[in-house]
Structure 1
Amino acid sequence: MTHSPFYFDIMKVCCGLAKEAGNAILRVYEQDDFGVQEKTDESPLTRADIASHEVIVNGLADSFPDIPVLSEESADISWEERRKWHRYFLVDPLDGTKEFIKRNGEFTVNIALVEGHASVVGVVYAPVLDITYMACKGEGAWKDLPGENRVKLQVSKQLSPLRVVGSRSHGNSKTESLLSPLVPYEMVHMGSSLKFCMVADGRADFYPRLGLTSEWDTAAAQCVVEQAGGDVVTQEGATLTYNNKESLLNVWFFVGNNAKVLLKSLAFTA
């Protein structure tokens, strides 16, 4: 197998940093007090978020000093500066903080390399599960399981019965109404970017997200899905992109083994 050396080398470094950050998260996870605070957007922040952020940002700066980094915990970079970036790292040090606080294990470390508004390298690490999902543009996507060989990922081609994955903490009635034309379907709930990863490894077929997310929530896992043969699209059927507007919030999006086809069947009434 041949690899783009640049992307593949970056992916390997990001895998190492994601695991190191995951270990920092687990050290907090084992404590009784997470040091939970509330950010200005009313989302939770813990000592684990900060510990993971510091590991990743410092590690990326050491390995790739010429590539800027945008992390959820250091997102106050002006649009005037960001719009000049052709290539940068986009990081969510702890995706699924609510799941972390609930101690259900469904949280991840997300590291992406974005180039020209697209995610070209993606690493998603689930510390409790010790599972790494990784991808780089043009080469594919893989999953590393504890004590097992690396597995190549490929989305399922199943569309009936449709297996839909939804948010563990952010479900809403709009999603149920939207999916009504697809009945019957099987529904499973999952936290963090593991929902994307379920599509990428063929355990789910469709993930509709009708709610607020930020670009760092999706970039790494989008690369995994796309390199496994799936797609991540907006309501208009366009590919979800990055760093092309001042706001760091995503529009509604849809992840699937063939999301563009499924979009045509949905009931957009909202």
Structure 2
Amino acid sequence: MLNKQLIAEITQIARRAGAAILDIYANEADFQVEHKADTSPLTIADRTANAIICSALEALPVQYPIISEENKLQPYTERQHFTKAWLVDPLDGTKEFVKRNGDFTVNIALINKGVIELGVVYVPVYDEMYYAVKGEGAFFEKDGQVEQLQALSFGLKDAGLKVVCSRSHMNPETEAFINALDQPELVSRGSSLKFLMIAQGQAHVYPRMGPTMEWDTGAAQIVLEEAGGMVIDQSTDAPLKYNKEDLRNPFFVAYGHFAG
């Protein structure tokens, strides 16, 4: 199955997961919030969406292993032999879901030898679909209309850059990055929506000097890259890599069309 055909299948899978999430979102009393070992929340919506996505991916004509936040993680001795694999975050922004502010997404990406080959990010509350295939551009679909995404061009010395930050995370390293800019304007969003704002030309940069996992970033990274942006490891200045032995991401900065 060609990637262009595959992306059509994946957007429909994301929509089905999103519809199930919204059914639960409408009934706050049934969120069934638990907490993982790292104290992050887990709801019935996470589990339901994960079941829908994994079942649908396993039913596709092409079969790849699935790396999901909500599945038991395969050991690296097994994962290191994966050429291609699905990377899934069935509900990115569970904290935002519990707060009922709408800033949560469904993320599905395909890894090929450590690089994201295609990605889909769906925003259920706003019925917004973002998707990209490597080398084919990034696109935004809403109300039956599709537009190609283009990130803003800028330099770090420019005044008034729009810096997108997490609603839930801020630390001294992030503050130091922001303080080095000239009159930055801060914009707060949750989940992978921070990447999407940059891909849409609504912000310039997103510094993340804190913990994230590969499934938090994979799908949104390729959308941003195909819109002309990049997501750079702060320690190596290289794009983020995937299906590593440690699935935690390094500190990174997501940029629009960076001109220096």
1:149 to 135, 140, 145: 145
Check if 1:240 corresponds to 2:235. no
Displacement after TM superposition at 1:260 (Å): 8.1
Structure 1 segments unaligned to the other structure (5+ residues): 262-270
CA deviation string 1:149-190 (max 9, x = no partner): 101001011443211100111122321112222121111010
Cα-Cα RMSD: 1.3
CA contact (8 A) 1:197 1:225 kept: yes
Corresponding residue number in structure 2 for 1:264: none
Check if 1:129 corresponds to 2:126. yes
Rounded to whole Å, the distance in 2 between the matches of 1:187 and 1:66 is: 42
Corresponding residue number in structure 2 for 1:52: 49
CA contact (8 A) 1:132 1:143 kept: yes
CA deviation string 1:7-66 (max 9, x = no partner): 111111110000000001011101132000011121100000001000100000001452
CA contact (8 A) 1:232 1:259 kept: no
Letter in structure 2 aligned against 1:93: P
Corresponding residue number in structure 1 for 2:26: 30
TM superposition outliers: structure 1 runs of 4+ over 2 Å: 158-161, 258-261
Rounded to whole Å, the distance in 1 between the matches of 2:105 and 2:205 is: 20
Rounded to whole Å, the distance in 1 between the matches of 2:27 and 2:176 is: 41
Corresponding residue number in structure 1 for 2:85: 88
Q: Which moved more, 1:19-28 or 1:153-162?
A: 153-162
Check if 1:223 corresponds to 2:219. no
Matches within 5 A, 1:5-84: 6-33=2-29, 34-64=31-61, 66-84=63-81
Q: Which moved more, 1:101-110 or 1:24-33?
A: 24-33
Q: Which moved more, 1:30-39 or 1:171-180?
A: 171-180
Rounded to whole Å, the distance in 1 between the matches of 2:154 and 2:243 is: 33
Are residues 118 and 238 of structure 1, via their aligned partners in 2, closer, same or farther at CA, if it must alter by over 3 Å? Answer: same
- TM, length-normalised to structure 2: 0.95
Rounded to whole Å, the distance in 1 between the matches of 2:2 and 2:22 is: 30
Corresponding residue number in structure 2 for 1:109: 106
Structure 2 segments unaligned to the other structure (5+ residues): none
CA contact (8 A) 2:107 2:122 kept: yes
